[in-house]
Amino acid sequence: MRKHALSSAISFILFSGLSTSLMATTNNTPVDDAHSNVLPIISLKANAKDAQTVATHANSALKSDTPFFETAQSVSVITREQLDQKQATTLADAINGVAGVSAGYLGRRGWDDFFIRGQNSSDQIFIDGLKQSQSTSEGVAVELSGMDQIQIIKGPASVNFGLVQPGGMVNLVTKRPQAQTFAHTSLTYGSYDFKQATFDMNYAPNQTEKGAFRLTGRIADQDDPTDYVYFKNFYISPSYHFDLGDKADLSVIASYQHRKYMRQQGIPVIGTLKYNPNGPIDRDLYIGEPEFGGYEGDVYRTGWTYDYNFDNGWKFTQNAAIQKLQSTGRVVFTQTGSSFWAANTPAYTTLNRSNNGRYQTHDITTYSIDNSIQRSFNLLNMVHHLNIGIDAMQTKDDYVNDRYTTGNLNIYQPIYSQTVSYVKNNSTQDINRLRYTGLYMRDRINLTDKIILTLAGRQDWAQASTQNVSKNGIANKLEQIPNSDQKFTGNAGLLYNINDMIAPYASYATSFLPNTRTDVSGNILAPETGKQLEFGLKLQSLDQRIQGSIALYDLRRQNVATIDPNNSGAYVLNGEQQTRGIEAEINAYLLDRLKLSASYSHLFDAKITKDTVLSNIGLSLNNVPQNTYSLSSRYYLTENDLGWYLGGAIRGESSKSYSGLDVHIPSYILYDAETGYEAVYWGAQLSIKNLFDKDYYAGLLNSNMVTLGNPRQINFTVKFKY
């Protein structure tokens, strides 16, 4: 399949190059901007702070340079400056506060987790528009220091990216060479012995991107309030922009990331959310075995982007990446369900840890490529912006899940350093493969100077397989027959630009995602599908310093794998989930001094509408808050980039529920604050997250375990700029 996908991509490249000279006709000649009815893009007149803070485009995520204001879709962008203001070191830190997004319910676990529009989208992470891995448990969170932007598409995005959950996806845009030479470094020290050093160096010998080189990196080390928990990280990323003349652009980027950590695993519900007759449980309790080990992972990535502009107006773009991930994880869990508390011990004092240790390894290799051609032309007195492409991905995950056992743990008098023994029975090794190729076409049509119609369609061919290598002493290997699926997904949107400041829109989109669950016969289930109807309103000021949006949506996730009521451990396709809600957000740069960001989300429904277990129908989705909101600001005491600034933020969530649990996770409101000084060659920043050190809970792992929210974190950063 890999050979087929790559050969298809190569054939497409050759075809696109040979056919460009044949596709130019009288009716589709390049558009003259001076005489076309294309809506004008208003350029920013303010200084660099505007462009950094108020994003107007998301080229990588949308595969188009269409401004947000002309896009009939909900898109949010977090800029580099906003990431620095948040002091974000995790993806949850970065995207919390975005309308329609709730992140971090797993707590300080070491990898990324988030919901978009009520749907778990934790495995929907892209880098520069390319999917990296299908696994949600490889134990390696994405690195943010090498990123320039974070882009969030809400709702189905299969037309652009193929296999995507209907809730949405997150795309990270890497830092690439710039047209100026600079060197930036920073040193940070903070709570819980947080130590961090970053660097970002760019060399542009000709003061252009052509021939420029950039090197970014970070090293960090932090302890945790929870006993024995820590997080270490190293990251480095070089990139180079080749000088290939006026028509061609080629940039290459590589990165290496090493993570090592002991994760926070949560603490029991009884003794925290619910009363424990033995007293409350300390929040610094660690429920695993420290000497058994933690998690360690390495990620190697190489990618490139190539653009070529033909004389006839067509533009060819190739985007590709190869990623290798290797990780190991040693951890001891508790039993779940009715076996959570150990038998023959005082009630609610001792956790049952028998046969529930894990030694997990992942070896994942992923190849991704996307080829497209774009052109704008006039046809039938309408302006078309056409994009045609083919993409492909292949990933292989060699996953080992060895079982271990150890003694129980008294949560009030914990004794560690217990013997952890290997249990061959039930240990497994799975080799999972996923291959897909997609052909897509999108046409943004200016029907008039005010009405924009967007039509898009995509055909995907996907193949998934699982090979199980038994480790229970039986010398057999079971390789499933690959499950092949194909699916057409589409998107249609209509936007009306009333007066260059207000633009209502409506859109409909579908999604497609192969299933990894198996039925009682061991066959992989048919793919999940999704659909969404959305109505919205785009807002902006004439100088584009204010960007806002309001969206009302009805989203359905279908063909959800649910437990087979007649066969434990097997699944059937009888599930459907519905989320309906409203979102609003605004980003503004006012009076040359004040920057504001605000968001609000409300879910009318986030529930199960179909299930094999009738009692589940109507239940709320786990860990999904009904309301989320945020407000952040930064005020500069001077009218330029230099001098003092002050900032603050408010963020919060309403309560969350979990199936089978009769209590909710309480709602919370958190406050952040910052102050800093910027000089020509240096700067300093003091930031405080969770200013009042509020104890709160992030989410529920199951009906027995609750995860902890982040404590107060005080960081002091010194920056040097050359």
Planar angle of CA 117, 704, 616, nearest 5 degrees: 50
Contact 416, 381 (CB under 8 A): no
Using CA atoms, how far apart are residues 703 and 691, in angstroms rounded to an integer?
Answer: 30
> How many other C-beta atoms lie within 10 A of the C-beta of residue 617?
14
Q: How many CB atoms lie within 10 A of CB 339?
A: 14
Q: What mean pLDDT comes out for the span 626-640?
A: 93
Residues 6+ apart with CB under 8 A from 499: none
Q: How confident is residue 477, by pLDDT bands cut at 50, 70 and 90? A: low
Is residue 449 pLDDT above 50, yes or no? yes
pLDDT at 23 over 80: no
Residue-level pLDDT at 472 = 53
Q: Are 647 and 673 in contact (CB under 8 A)?
A: yes
Q: How far apart are the C-alpha atoms of 109 and 717, rounded to whole Å?
A: 25
Paired strand residues for 432: 397, 466
Is residue 14 scored above 50 in pLDDT? Answer: no
The token pair that represents 453 in the structure block: 């119609």
Q: Which two tokens stand for residue 708?
A: 């902890």
| Across 533-542, average pLDDT | 96
Mean pLDDT taken over the chain: 87
Provide mean pLDDT across the span 558-583.
87
Which whole number is the average pLDDT over 644-657?
96
Round to whole Å and give the CA distance between 9 and 20.
Answer: 17
433: CB partners within 8 A, 6+ apart: 394, 395, 396, 397, 463, 464, 465, 466, 482
- Residue 40 has a pLDDT of 33
Q: What is the mean pLDDT of residues 387-394?
A: 95
Q: What is the pLDDT of residue 524?
A: 79
DSSP secondary structure, 493-512, as one string: EEEE-SSSSEEEEEEEEEEE
Query: Taking Cα atoms as reference points, which of 73, 83, 239 lies closest to residue 717?
Result: 83
Q: What are the strands of the beta sheet with 101-103, ordered from one edge?
A: 101-103, 114-116, 119-120
Q: Given a cut of 90, is residue 418 above it in pLDDT?
A: yes
3-state secondary structure 82-151: HHHHHCCCCHHHHHCCCCCEEECCCCCCCCCCEEECCEECCCCEEECCEECCCCCCCCCCCCCCCEEEEE
Average pLDDT rounded to a whole number, residues 492-519 = 91
pLDDT digits (tens, 9 = 90+) for 106-151: 988 888 899 999 999 988 899 999 987 656 667 788 999 999 999 9
Strands (E) across 514-613 are located at 528-540, 546-563, 571-590, 594-610
Percent of the chain with pLDDT over 90: 70
| CA separation for the pair 331, 262 (Å, rounded) | 9
**What order do you get walking across the sheet with 697-700 strand by strand?**
267-268, 705-708, 697-700
Dist CA 563 CA 537 (whole Å): 40
pTM of the full structure: 0.89
What pLDDT band is residue 27 in, cutting at 50, 70 and 90? very low
Distance from C-alpha of 281 to C-alpha of 279, rounded to nearest angstrom = 7
Q: Tell me the torsion sign for CA atoms 566, 571, 574, 578.
A: positive
Residue 402 confidence (pLDDT) above 80: yes
Please check the confidence at residue 48 and state whether its pLDDT lies above 80. no
